[in-house]
């Protein structure tokens, strides 16, 4: 069992939990995710890691209560426990393998939309801990939906906040802030990391393509079981077929067909849609992992 050390409501339907999971805390890196299960019969829920404390042996998760399982999760309190907490899974963010001195010469822009602030935070924190100053844009629908603002402030070089309704920070979407920084203020970026809802990542990528800024996105939202078995997260990255949960979740955003991925995400929600995908793509239960070749 994996005990919950802290449980907090961050905003409407958004919750944060520190979970005792020393092995995961020892090995996890920014960009990776865990799968949690409330009890034996519970659904497997993949969640990107928001933070970790290797000494305390805890991993922080942030989730949105959007279905039966996450609504049940939201009822858990400090002292309760998860039945399973598996990880770290997926590949870590690529930059952690780069030479730190070379990273210092690159200008990174992180763009977080809504709950996407949770997976962006450990990446910005890692940069800060390695002496690399980065610009960060956080977008939210409204002031009350803004999460992790204080935490982000401590680790960002420059933090820009935008709300769709103008109740805090700049009035507008994250793409408006990118345009302002690059086109009006003349800022130059070598890499953009954009994590948030699919529609946000799509529009950030359209813009950064125009602005010539290589962009990394996280395809976490299309994952279902997170194990490479269900096939839900199969996607085209350029000409290649990848699985977000095994090969990602982070990919070159300019190579992703977001419309296809969003359509697939919708199809996967119905039994009929899942049956159609299975017919078209073969039994992704075999080879869905992308490693054994059984799906070819
Ligand atoms: P949201 O709808 O509140 O959007 C957050 C921000 O994204 C907005 O404030 C805006 O700045 C920007 N945005 C939205 N639509 C845009 C558009 N068309 N053009 C430009 N910018 C746009 O976000 P939310 O409700 O917190 O999002 C929840 C979604 O985020 C869920 O679907 C979840 O799957 C996803 N999510 C993704 C990841 C990931 O790893 N990619 C992680 C956590 C959550
Ligand atoms: Fe099921 Fe990736 S989430 S195969």
Contact predicate 21/57, CB 8 Å: yes
Query: So what's the pLDDT on residue 283?
Result: 55
Give the mean model confidence (pLDDT) for residues 182-202.
97
Ligand that lies nearest to the alpha carbon of residue 295, given by its number in the listed order: 2
Q: Which structure tokens are listed for 249?
A: 């979740």
For residue 136, what pLDDT band results from cuts at 50, 70 and 90? very high
Query: So what's the pLDDT on residue 282?
Result: 64
Centre of ligand 2 to C-alpha 227, Å, is: 5
Instruction: Report which of 229, 295, 224, 294 is spatially closest to residue 266, judged by C-alpha positions.
Output: 224
How many beta carbons lie within 10 A of that of residue 176, not counting itself? 16
For residue 153, what pLDDT band results from cuts at 50, 70 and 90? very high
Q: Quick check: CB of 199 below 6 Å from ligand 1?
A: yes
Is the pTM higher than 0.85? The answer reads: yes
Q: Quick check: CB of 205 below 6 Å from ligand 1?
A: no
Reported as a single tens digit per residue, the pLDDT across 200-238 is: 999 999 999 999 999 999 999 888 888 887 888 889 999
Q: Is the pLDDT of residue 292 over 70?
A: no
Reported as a single tens digit per residue, the pLDDT across 268-281 is: 767 677 667 777 77
Q: Quick check: CB of 116 below 6 Å from ligand 1?
A: yes
Q: Which domains, ranges and CATH numbers included, belong to the chain?
A: 2-89 (2.40.30.10), 97-215 (3.40.50.80), 219-296 (no CATH)
**Residues comprising the chain, all counted:** 296
Reported as a single tens digit per residue, the pLDDT across 56-92 is: 999 999 999 988 888 999 999 999 999 999 999 999 9
**124-to-68, 116, 154 alpha-carbon distances in Å:** 32, 13, 10
Query: So what's the pLDDT on residue 78?
Result: 96
Closest protein CA for atom 15 of ligand 1: 200
Centre of ligand 2 to C-alpha 254, Å, is: 22
Ligand that lies nearest to the alpha carbon of residue 165, given by its number in the listed order: 1
Give the mean model confidence (pLDDT) for residues 107-134.
97
Ligand 1 atom with the smallest distance to the CA of 195 is 41
Q: Quick check: CB of 203 below 6 Å from ligand 1?
A: yes
pLDDT more than 70, % of the chain:
93
Q: Quick check: CB of 223 below 6 Å from ligand 2?
A: yes
How many beta carbons lie within 10 A of that of residue 91, not counting itself? 17
**Of 47-56, 91-100, 232-241, minimum mean pLDDT range:** 232-241
**Of 35-39, 92-96, 274-278, minimum mean pLDDT range:** 274-278
Centre of ligand 1 to C-alpha 295, Å, is: 32
DSSP string, 20-55: E-HHHHHH--TT-EEEEESSTTSPPEEEEEEEEETT
Contact predicate 147/115, CB 8 Å: yes
């Amino acid at each position: 069992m994996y005990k919950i050390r802290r449980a907090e409501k961050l905003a409407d339907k958004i919750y944060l939990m520190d979970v005792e999971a020393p092995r995961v805390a020892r090995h996890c890196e920014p960009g990776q995710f865990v799968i949690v299960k409330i009890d034996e019969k519970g659904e497997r829920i993949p969640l990107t890691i928001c933070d970790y404390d290797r000494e305390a042996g805890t991993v922080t998760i942030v989730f949105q209560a959007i279905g039966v399982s996450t609504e049940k999760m939201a009822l858990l309190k400090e002292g309760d426990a998860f039945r399973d907490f598996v990880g770290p899974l997926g590949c870590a963010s690529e930059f952690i393998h780069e030479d730190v001195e070379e990273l210092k010469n690159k200008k990174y822009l992180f763009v977080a939309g809504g709950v996407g602030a949770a997976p962006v935070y450990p990446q910005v924190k890692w940069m800060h801990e390695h002496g690399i100053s980065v610009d960060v844009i956080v977008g939210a629908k409204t002031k009350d939906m803004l999460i992790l603002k204080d935490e982000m402030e401590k680790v960002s070089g420059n933090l820009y906040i935008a709300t769709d309704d103008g109740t805090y920070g700049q009035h507008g979407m994250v793409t408006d802030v990118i345009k302002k920084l690059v086109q009006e203020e003349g800022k130059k970026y070598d890499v953009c990391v954009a994590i948030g809802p699919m529609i946000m990542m799509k529009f950030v990528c359209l813009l950064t393509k125009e602005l010539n800024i290589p962009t990394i996105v996280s395809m976490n939202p299309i994952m279902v079981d997170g194990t490479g078995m269900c096939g839900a997260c199969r996607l085209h990255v350029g000409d290649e077929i990848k699985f977000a949960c095994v090969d990602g979740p982070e990919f070159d955003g300019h190579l992703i067909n977001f419309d296809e991925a969003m359509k697939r995400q919708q199809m996967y929600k119905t039994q009929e849609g899942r049956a159609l995908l299975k017919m078209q793509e073969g039994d992704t239960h075999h080879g869905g992992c992308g490693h054994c070749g059984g799906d070819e």
